[in-house]
Amino acid sequence: MSTNASTATATRKLTIARAMAEATAQEMRADPRVFVMGEDVGPLGGVFGNTRGLFDEFGPDRVRDTPISETAFIGAAVGAASDGMRPIVELMFVDFFGVCMDAIYNLMAKNTYFSGGKVKVPMVLMTSTGGGYSDAGQHSQCLYGTFAHLPGMKVVVPSNAFDAKGLMTAAIRDDNPVVFMYHKALQGMGWLGTEKGATVPVPEESYSVEIGRAAVVREGHDVTLVSLGVGVHHCLRAAKALEEEGFSAEVVDLRSLVPLDRDTVRASVARTGRLIVVDEDYHSYGVSGEIIASVAEHAGCRLKAAPKRVAYPDIPIPFAPTMEQWALPNADKVVAAFHQMMRES
């Protein structure tokens, strides 16, 4: 990417949906092995907009609407990837993994290992996550921990359009299966409330964001706020609120769960001495526990206060807005967690 070009395009803002589609189109132009399949990815352009325009440019062979048969078409993606193609498949809502997880975790994630590294499975499984719009508990989950827990697949979760484009490019070029989890509240769809902070300047040129590198998106010295996806925006708002109270919060955007950039998290906590993890996935056995354990088990760990997490309670996600909004993480809860941490220490 040339400096001139990036300067020239620095003002062009894209939604995550547009950024994903642009990265996909660029890779499809450059590499005939790349193709897309999934439910409603063709003329409709994806229920969440991330394949918009691809069908018109590349046609029905390379942008394939599938039957509602996730077991078959995700299994087919594994077979096509093993045969030299680079498929991108969409699992429309991550909640639907229950009908097809075998193809994902027993085939996609294990064929490389069970072949002693001789069979590569270069595919991208993109899937929407998250709630906040009263779609209830079969269409609102994040399940980050579920996927990151199972070995053999990389997992990325962008919080903004710049990272989304670069991570999508990196995912398509990766020789391994990559699960690309995009949060619905960041997509920029008119009919879903969209976090404005996710729509950022995106260069027109193709570029990669390295999978496995977290980003310090705000520097600070009193507390480290670690999150991913929409949670990063809660943390940035909380950091702003804390700044008005005279506290300085550092915000780490994980961007990738597998591989997990523990070094960046530990280095930040080493500077601040305090850790709060914010995750819209379930509280127990998930990302928040893993981050805290990764810091706590490290020999260099020196904390000024017990770490805290702001996560989704261990309940199915309710429909009624009053209940759902009460249960979701938000900036106020992050600020409250910090206040409690300061009282306790």
Q: What's the closest the beta carbon of residue 292 comes to other proteins, in angstroms?
A: 24
Cα 308 from chain centre: 22
Six-digit token pair at 18?
């547009």
Q: What's the closest the beta carbon of residue 35 comes to other proteins, in angstroms?
A: 6
Six-digit token pair at 327?
């249960």
**150 vs 238, beta carbon nearer other proteins:** 150
Six-digit token pair at 175?
């020789």
Q: What's the closest the beta carbon of residue 199 comes to other proteins, in angstroms?
A: 32
Q: Report the interface residues with other proteins, using CB under 8 A.
A: 33, 35, 61-62, 64, 66-67, 69-85, 87, 99, 102-103, 106-107, 110-122, 151-152, 154, 175-176
Q: Which residue in 39, 70, 195, 290 is the catalytic one? A: 70
**111 vs 194, beta carbon nearer other proteins:** 111
In the residue annotation, 195 being an active-site residue is answered as: no
**75 vs 220, beta carbon nearer other proteins:** 75
Q: What's the closest the beta carbon of residue 150 comes to other proteins, in angstroms?
A: 11
Q: For the chain, how are helix, strand and coil distributed in percent, rounded to 5?
A: 40, 20, 40
Q: What's the closest the beta carbon of residue 111 comes to other proteins, in angstroms?
A: 7
Q: Where do the H-state alpha helices sit in the chain?
A: 3-9, 16-30, 54-62, 70-82, 101, 111-114, 144-149, 161-173, 230-244, 262-272, 287-296, 321-327, 331-344
**116 vs 190, beta carbon nearer other proteins:** 116
Residue 181 CB contacts under 8 Å (≥ 6 apart), including other chains = 94, 126, 127, 128, 129, 142, 144, 147, 155, 156, 157, 229
Distance in Å from the first CA to the final CA of the chain:
47
**68 vs 315, beta carbon nearer other proteins:** 68
**How far from 195 is each of 35, 121, 155, CA to CA, in Å?**
29, 34, 22
Residue among 174, 180, 165 nearest 125 (CA): 180
**68 vs 306, beta carbon nearer other proteins:** 68
DSSP per-residue codes, 243-267: HHTT--EEEEE--EEETT-HHHHHH
Q: What's the closest the beta carbon of residue 28 comes to other proteins, in angstroms?
A: 12
Residue among 336, 327, 332, 330 nearest 278 (CA): 330
Q: Which residue has 């807005």 as its token pair?
A: 321
**175 vs 263, beta carbon nearer other proteins:** 175
Q: Which residue in 139, 183, 233, 234 is the catalytic one? A: 139
Q: Is 253 exposed, middle or buried (0-12, 13-18, 19+ CB in 10 A)?
A: buried
In the residue annotation, 298 being an active-site residue is answered as: no
**Cα–Cα distance between 144 and 128 in angstroms, integer?**
11
Q: What's the closest the beta carbon of residue 154 comes to other proteins, in angstroms?
A: 8
**How far from 171 is each of 176, 212, 214, 312, CA to CA, in Å?**
8, 11, 16, 28
Task: Please identify every residue annotated as catalytic.
Answer: 70, 139
